[in-house]
Structure 1
């Protein structure tokens, strides 16, 4: 309980410090003391900075990055729910929506990211509805399942596209790793799906009447025989 109270008190202080710094940065910018870029530093979240570095400023963003967007459709109608702040930026002791953060998020989603990424690199999940006490376990499950399928599909396509583009690469290390990967896949494919054969083998090598276990024997690379 004490930890929870301390966390709440610190969050209020932290938000006050953040607000004060933003106001000071804004005034300093208006007075020509700092640049707009420096001013924006006080308005930009860590996540937004990562997006700027990884997507908006990257030369080959479409080859290396994907954007997954989740939308909780009625979050703004449930701001009084104690779990709402887990899904939306709030200030004033979790009483009000952080308008600056909301504007920044909308600008990223609607304007900046679509300019940097192809439509195929931006994946939106099915809308999620809020329920009493937050998002239901079933909704979470459906979202994770959908995300899993989407992620696998688009990452696979991105890898294939990257390989096609680099097909003519003559780098020896690349060729060696690729050859090794292909060989591993071929070896695995030979044994995959042979559960019925392995089951029969296990049955035939079970303990016999003498109580001695039957073991495969023979030198490499000759075929194995069962020896009792």
Structure 2
């Protein structure tokens, strides 16, 4: 018996016309962002570049004919980004890009004993900045006034950290730590007095690496098979000389708690098979080399498994899936360009809810007047017009935009197939000899098998493009 409740697998949602997790364009590569602290993970990241990434690149190309890319921002930060305090923004933008564009894994985390660099925020809300000024000493207030300037252009004005140039570089080196301490002190006092929120307080204590991790977890909230984490513990860290220990550890009581909290968050969010932990005697070269070999093997295998999973399980290689995906991406793109035409949408809504039999609703107008964008809006909003949105499925075709939508025959075939999948109807046989009249009859036979408790909205855009 057919059940109207939508299943939540990506493919099922796509066939039902739900676009929430549809990319803005067709994905065609694997892109991973490597989030790690810097000085203590050099050996691992060097090994990945030398031994693992080339193998993954070769595997992706030979197996799926797709490219493999990695982004390790710890190697690529330019002086200009440091001078204008855009380092954090640049890292987060690249992370978002990998999350948005990757077909499979998009973020890999490497953590050990370091919490990572903590930078003064590049922007502070005006409201928060003023609260800080009220709790700081005169010297501390003068310091933050020296380095921050008000920007009233945003909707909510912010104080922006001044850029560094040749005339201020030495002063910045002297003041950076003092400024950071003053901001943290102010945030602690304001949190104590409940004049700022927990999240606002965190902005002045969180490391760059943790910001990346929190962002990646947020981006992959519904997709746990796109992240991997590697934790390394040095069993002999207390036996290292002071210089080497400083390289591998940077925590005090506060940052150790923040690091522990970050690791706990990762373990709670990721599947167990995507979290790896190692205990190493770093001074023992043999033990260290065994660890590095195991790390590289685990890295390659888990990424290969995730790539295989997404390429074979969540992205089936069939013409129907690809066709529906293409039109869904087109729909999402048009929605982003939509200019409000609520009057027309309301008329379409009225027509749809009246359920007028044997009569289509036609939207017509001159080329370039936004008809396609309106169709995209109908596809997105129509389920919410009904009392039970989960019982509503949307099928849309932007005719002429794909090779399989340039004549009436192919769209009709793909729509019949999509309806069969949505409602678990036995697929009707269709071959090259099936005539248009035969397709019409099969289409009608399929429609009458849709449960009466279900609603189906079929949208054709640009019927004039049919050959």
Instruction: Determine if the TM-score, normalized by the shorter chain, exceeds 0.5.
Output: yes
Shift of 1:32: 2.7
Following the alignment from structure 2 to structure 1, what is the Cα–Cα distance between the partners of residues 185 and 286? 42
Aligned pairs, number: 153
Higher relative contact order (CA 8 A, sep 6+): 2
Give the TM-score taking structure 1 as reference length.
0.58
Question: Does 1:145 find its partner at 2:296?
Answer: no
Aligned pairs (5 A) from 1:21-32: 21-32=183-194
Counting strand residues as a fraction of each chain, which structure ranks higher? 2
Question: Does 1:42 find its partner at 2:204?
Answer: yes
- For 1:142-184, what per-residue CA distance to the aligned partner results, in whole angstroms no more than 9, with x for missing partners? 3321111001111111112212122266226x9xxxxxxxxxx
Give the TM-score taking structure 2 as reference length.
0.30
- Report the counterpart of residue 129 of structure 1 in structure 2: 281
Following the alignment from structure 1 to structure 2, what is the Cα–Cα distance between the partners of residues 39 and 157? 39
- Report the counterpart of residue 303 of structure 2 in structure 1: 155
Aligned pairs (5 A) from 1:90-129: 97-109=251-263, 111-125=264-278, 127-129=279-281
Shift of 1:44: 0.5
Shift of 1:47: 0.2
**Which stretch of structure 1 is more off in the superposition, 16-25 or 115-124?**
16-25
Asked if the contact 2:220/2:226 (under 8 Å) is kept, the reply is no
Match of 1:171 among 313, 322, 326: 322
Following the alignment from structure 1 to structure 2, what is the Cα–Cα distance between the partners of residues 13 and 85? 22
Shift of 1:140: 4.1
Following the alignment from structure 2 to structure 1, what is the Cα–Cα distance between the partners of residues 281 and 177? 29
Secondary structure of 2:313's partner? Answer: helix
Asked if the contact 1:70/1:124 (under 8 Å) is kept, the reply is yes
**Alpha-carbon RMSD:** 3.0
Following the alignment from structure 2 to structure 1, what is the Cα–Cα distance between the partners of residues 285 and 223? 34
Secondary structure of 1:71's partner? Answer: strand
Aligned pairs (5 A) from 1:179-218: none
Counting helix residues as a fraction of each chain, which structure ranks higher? 1
Following the alignment from structure 1 to structure 2, what is the Cα–Cα distance between the partners of residues 137 and 49? 33
Aligned pairs (5 A) from 1:33-72: 33-56=195-218, 58-72=220-234
| Ranges of 4+ aligned residues in structure 1 off by more than 6 Å | none
- Gapped runs of 5+ residues in structure 2? 1-171, 326-467
Residues 22 and 80 (structure 1), Cα distance of their counterparts in 2 relative to 1, 3 Å cut: farther
- Report the counterpart of residue 82 of structure 1 in structure 2: 243
Following the alignment from structure 1 to structure 2, what is the Cα–Cα distance between the partners of residues 165 and 146? 29
